[in-house]
Amino acid sequence: MKIDILTIFPEMFDGFLNTSIIKRAIQNKLVDIQIHDIRKYSKDPHKKVDDYGYGGGRGMVLMPQPIFDAVDDLKKENTKVILMTPQGVTYKQKIAYDLAKEKHLILICGHYEGFDERIRTLADMEISIGDYVLTGGELASMVITDSITRLIDGVIEKESHLNDSFNSNLLDYPVYTKPIDFKGMKVPEVLLSGHHANIAKYRQNEALKKTKQRRPDLLENGDNNG
Ligand code: 6GU
């Protein structure tokens, strides 16, 4: 899987790419993540990437030229181009599973007050990560990249994501580690019993209980993972 990310703030990705599971996935060549500075593609003598919007009102708008040239440079036969925007479809685990099957993604991070409407014509899909406004698409593109990378074979143990919240429309069951008694709060007896069938039953019940309490909408919404 290759993921190319177009941004005007490449430095935002340093910590993300150099930490923990994402870092190891890159080192093990399970995913190739490349950050591209949109400015590099600007044909403007001052490497401008944005300008005032026609009609006035809002502030700076990303210009089409650098982004069109970047996509033209990076796009191959099997590429899916995704625009990060609060106007896109709301991101869900089901979309992560679908995208994890792709060979090559280009994620375009919008910024400032917006991007020229013509940039939309480049995109196969527009994604929002939720109903709130970020200063730019960078954090959203990291969310997408993280959630896809952990689904790639070999990145984490398969068991870890087979049990994920949302796969079965249920939130995760509670987990405990040492000590058995912490400030009077005890690990449930059944988890210490070694009785696998009872443990499975307990976990299923707890997951259902938690989901009913906190996210009853998940139980009504059918399948989330396709
Ligand atoms: Cl993808 N971009 C921005 N700027 N804000 C968002 C978003 C994306 N998703 C939710 N809010």
Digit-coded pLDDT (tens) for 78-122: 999 999 999 999 999 999 999 999 999 999 998 767 999 999 999
Of the candidates 37, 69, 98, 113, the residue annotated as catalytic is 113
**From ligand 1's centre to the CA of 79, what distance in Å?**
22
173/34 Cα distance (integer angstroms): 36
Are 171 and 92 in the same domain? Answer: no
- For residue 181, is it within any domain? yes
For ligand 1, mutation pick of 111, 128, 145 (most atoms within 8 Å of CB): 128
What token pair was written down for 203? 């976990």
- For residue 217, is it within any domain? yes
Are 150 and 173 in the same domain? Answer: no
Would you call 93 helix, strand, or coil by DSSP?
Answer: helix
- CB neighbours of 54 closer than 8 A, spacing ≥ 6? none
- Judged on CB neighbours under 10 Å (0-12, 13-18, 19+), 170 is buried
Residues with a CB atom less than 6 Å from ligand 1: 84-86, 110, 127-130, 132-134, 136-137, 140
- CB neighbours of 143 closer than 8 A, spacing ≥ 6? 91, 129
Task: Write out the residue range of the structural domain in which residue 193 sits.
Answer: 163-221
| pTM metric for this prediction | 0.94
Each residue's pLDDT tens digit, 173-203: 999 999 999 999 999 999 999 999 999 999 9
- For residue 68, is it within any domain? yes
- How much is the pLDDT for 225? 55
Out of 158, 177, 201, pick the residue that ends a domain: 158
